[in-house]
Structure 1
């Protein structure tokens, strides 16, 4: 692997565990300035204090999230977008390129693909170009890949998720983000078929914090490389303490009950 890419990956993945806690903050383009994303600098500060490995955001909010003091954190600049206001919300369009992301200080870039969408071929072509440009510059690529389209009846089905993970790997991504399949056994098959680090998405907010921690724990036990989760973290009552608990699970191998002790007083 190119030494530059190795160095940048280690700014995102814990070099001792090979795992990462990534907090996406790109929701503002998709759904607007939702709770937790109005004061970006405060949000990033809470995330850093919790020990997350990286944040992920669109190019325009990079200056808003930059802090001039304190612990550093990895930066992933997201390159593709769509909005819920569009009649075609599943069609992701490139709004940034690798060189611009590097200019902004990115350690890595990310893009979103919806397999099965009517515009799938355009997103696949974009992925090919992005991974080519990123490889030339030694920039890691995180591919968020989901099965969403007229032929997809269950985007969490193990065969669909495994296909998504494999597409990310075969198109040249260094990391792939997919939904959790619901149980360690089926998710282990997803990881085995990908051959690159697989991190789980958060999806809708879970019913309880314990449910969220259990999902993360099970995914890691199945061979997953961590998580890339937004709303379940930045909309939590205490994102900093939640991230500290997640760090115990992802990097220190703690059980869910042990990690929950650090969240006493916040409810289940």
Structure 2
């Protein structure tokens, strides 16, 4: 029976009219502190209700504050992030559980997420964590998004092969969806995405704040090759015009056809100009 609950809740993270979603994680505060865009609950309130955001990811404390402030629209999915570690510490990539599934359910979460950064020394920890959290999530009918990152210095095809293996680990251990970074080149996207399957959607991360047109090009390519959406934090909440960027990203997700057809670019759209007076 838990499968039906997971399927229903997973759909709440996506746009209601299609199987794609624009998820905005704001869990960075635990890792790196009050950075631009998420300096405070008030700063987050100023943009988090944008209708182009299909879901948000945050730690339990921030979810509580946003609920108390009535800042989360009913149409926005809520995902509680279960693990973390402050970047000031030497073992920052070996993230520890900071809450449990039961509390996420009490908060009204539609889903939960964990992040596993694979280094040379924490593979056993990450493997146990993925398997144990998936078991508990499935028992409660809660979908699990696994954020999977490779911290090795691999490049090119070697990096793709390593990430394909990590993606498959996530699938085998019960992840309902996966978040990964964009590959070095668009031509690697088909091999990367083929490591999953139709039943385990892949969302692409934005990484560090950078050129928004490049981000849009990457997003469009990923969607054309079969990604199910985007999971972009800093690229969104550190943008100087969040509403405009969110509308452009949403257009990519809603309008991109399959890979065999030409796509309509939204990269060349100009930012609206405001006039004083």
Indicate whether the TM-score tops 0.5: yes
Task: Give 5+ residue unaligned stretches, structure 2.
Answer: 258-262
Contact 1:140 1:174 (8 Å CA) reproduced:
yes
Deviation at 1:190, TM superposition (A): 1.5
RMSD: 2.2
CA deviation after TM superposition for structure 1 residue 70, in Å: 7.5
Q: Deviations over 1:30-65 (max 9, x none)?
A: 110101112335424513324111000001111222
User: In structure 2, how many angstroms separate the alpha carbons of the residues matched to 1:124 and 1:70?
Assistant: 33
Pick the structure with greater CA Rg: 2
Contact persistence 1:141–1:174 (CA under 8 A): yes
Structure 1 unaligned runs (5+)?
none
Do 2:83 and 2:115's aligned partners in 1 also have CA atoms closer than 8 Å? yes
Name which of structure 1's ranges 42-51 and 123-132 shifts more when overlaid on structure 2.
42-51
Q: Partner residue of 2:59? A: 58
Q: Determine if the alignment matches structure 1 residue 223 to structure 2 residue 226.
A: yes
Alignment CA distance shift 1:143-1:190 (3 Å): same
Corresponding residue for residue 103 of structure 1: 106
Return the match for 1:93 from 93, 96, 99.
96
More off after superposition, 253-262 vs 236-245? 253-262
1:35-50 pair list within 5 angstroms:
35-50=36-51
**Structure 1 residue 257 displacement after superposition:** 4.0
Change (3 A) 1:74 1:92: same
Displacement after TM superposition at 1:124 (Å): 1.4
Number of aligned positions between the proteins? 263
Secondary structure, aligned partner of 2:221: helix
User: What is the alpha-carbon distance in structure 2 between the residues aligned to residue 256 and residue 85 of structure 1?
Assistant: 43
- Partner of 2:47: helix, strand, or coil? helix
For the pair 1:214 / 2:217, whether they are aligned, the reply is: yes
User: Given that residues 116 and 146 in structure 2 are in contact (C-alpha distance below 8 angstroms), is that contact kept between their aligned partners in structure 1?
Assistant: yes
Deviation for aligned residue 1:153: 3.0
Q: Where does residue 171 of structure 2 map in the other structure?
A: 169
- The residue correspondences of 1:12-161 to structure 2 (distance < 5 A) are 12-66=13-67, 67-68=69-70, 71-72=73-74, 73-149=76-152, 152-154=153-155, 157-161=159-163
Match of 2:269 in 1: 261
For 2:88 and 2:71, the matched residues in 1 are separated by 37
Structure 2 match to 1:197: 201
Identify the range of structure 1 (161-170 vs 193-202) with the bigger mean alpha-carbon deviation: 161-170
Whole-Å separation in 2 of the counterparts to 1:19 and 1:3: 19
Once the 2 structures are TM-superposed, how far is the Cα of residue 234 of structure 1 from its aligned partner?
0.1
Partners of 1:183 and 1:218 within 8 A in 2: no
